[in-house]
Amino acid sequence: MNSTQVMGSEKKIILVTGGSGLVGQAIKQAKQQDPRENETFIFLSSKDGDLKDPAATQRIFERYKPTHVIHLAAMVGGLFNNMKHNLDFLRNNILINDNVLHNSYKLGVKKVVSCLSTCVFPDQTSYPIDETMIHNGPPHPSNFGYSYAKRLIDVQNHAYHQQHGCHFTAVIPTNVFGAYDNFNLEDGHVIPGLIHKAYIAKKEGKPLVVYGSGKPLRQFIYSIDLAKLFLFVLREYDEIDPIILSVDESSEVSIGEVAQMIADAFQLEHGIVLDSTKADGQFKKTASNKKLRGYLPDFQFMPLKEAIERTVQWFNLNYNIARK
């Protein structure tokens, strides 16, 4: 058995960095719905230690001695946060990723699954985007800091494999949403941002304000669906090359359409207005999930409308604890 294979029932201690965020909370739920006897999960937050700090990261790894790592921790944000802080997104994420991957190597971690994003792909490209295109040109200028830091993970994974035979891989999700998201009006992504704005519009009897033209196109994956796919990758995906985790191309929607779904979920009575003074960002980043469908041809994604209704319900019930 060579170093890249792991016996099926071997005891796994799975460290989830960034375990307190949107995707981490969803993995916590998904593993409860699909448990394995040989798996023990440890969900970290930044309270366990700042992963930008090499010494703090080493302490965490020495304390938990993981055999496997799901690496989610990152400085994450929507279009407007990225546009204002490209340098911070670049430096913070490079530091976090290097500390996690190097400690994983030093402690002989058997497998690391890191998380990129479809915004890392070149802005000028043919569509649909696939995994082979990741380094084919500059990303969109609105998020170059985050994108280059994330692309570097793929470079690091191949370098650790080539030089030390490490089994470090990565997934590439499209835009994610769900419970425990960041609903901050300035820094968050579009769906949590619009849900928070719709909540206020409902209270004040005002229209929902959508930034930009409403025309850009996006593929949105519900956090719980992504979490199930993360567990599949942890348990069964054996490549170093990354894999896109996305809904089908036919599920791509415009920002205007998703805003209407959110307005309907809140039964808003004063409609939607567009604020064209705000940026649209990247027009589209249509991704192919052909590689994923090769592994899981029958995977069922939750319909967007239903997933949005569940997220709106969660926000209404958890307004007090939600990140805002």
Beta bridge partners of 111: 68
| C-alpha–C-alpha distance, residues 24 and 279, integer Å | 29
Q: If contact means CB under 5 to 8 A according to the sort of partner, which of ligand GFB, ligand NAP, none does residue 78 touch?
A: ligand GFB
Task: Tell which residue, 246, 243, 233, 228, has the closest CA to residue 285.
Answer: 246
Q: Is 245 in the site for ligand GFB (CB under 6 A)?
A: no
Q: Cβ distance 255 to 215 under 8 Å? A: yes
- Among positions 106-165, residues that touch ligand GFB (CB under 6 A) are 117, 119, 142-143, 146
Q: If contact means CB under 5 to 8 A according to the sort of partner, which of ligand GFB, ligand NAP, none does residue 243 touch?
A: none
**DSSP symbol at 286:** -
The minimum distance between CB 120 and ligand GFB, in angstroms, equals 7
Q: If contact means CB under 5 to 8 A according to the sort of partner, which of ligand NAP, ligand GFB, none does residue 211 touch?
A: ligand GFB
- Among positions 150-169, residues that touch ligand NAP (CB under 6 A) are none
- Among positions 76-105, residues that touch ligand NAP (CB under 6 A) are 76, 96
Residue 34 CB contacts under 8 Å (≥ 6 apart), including other chains: 228, 231
* Angular region, 238: left φ>0, alpha ψ -120 to 50, beta rest: alpha
Q: Using CB under 6 A as the criterion, what x/- string covers residues 10-29 for binding ligand NAP? A: --------xxxxxxx-----
**Phi first, then psi: what are they for 256, rounded to 5°?**
-60, -40
Q: Is 79 in the site for ligand GFB (CB under 6 A)?
A: yes
Our answer to whether residue 127 is catalytic in this structure is no
| Catalytic, out of 64, 105, 127, 146 | 146
Q: If contact means CB under 5 to 8 A according to the sort of partner, which of ligand NAP, ligand GFB, none does residue 50 touch?
A: ligand NAP
- Residue 74 or 272: the one with the smaller Cβ distance to ligand NAP is 74
Pairing status of strand 217-218 against strand 253-254: antiparallel
Q: Is 175 in the site for ligand GFB (CB under 6 A)?
A: yes
| C-alpha–C-alpha distance, residues 143 and 80, integer Å | 9
Residue 12 CB contacts under 8 Å (≥ 6 apart), including other chains: 36, 38, 39, 40, 67, 68
Q: Is 199 in the site for ligand GFB (CB under 6 A)?
A: no
Each residue of 157-193: b (16+ CB within 10 Å) or e? beebbeeeebbbbbbbbbbbbbbbbbbbeebbbbbbb
- Residue 147 or 268: the one with the smaller Cβ distance to ligand NAP is 147
Query: Which residues bind to ligand NAP, rule: CB under 6 A?
Result: 18-24, 45-47, 50-52, 72-76, 96, 115, 117, 173, 175-176, 182, 189
Query: Which residues bind to ligand GFB, rule: CB under 6 A?
Result: 78-80, 82, 117, 119, 142-143, 146, 175, 188-190, 193-194, 197, 210-212, 216, 218, 255, 278-282
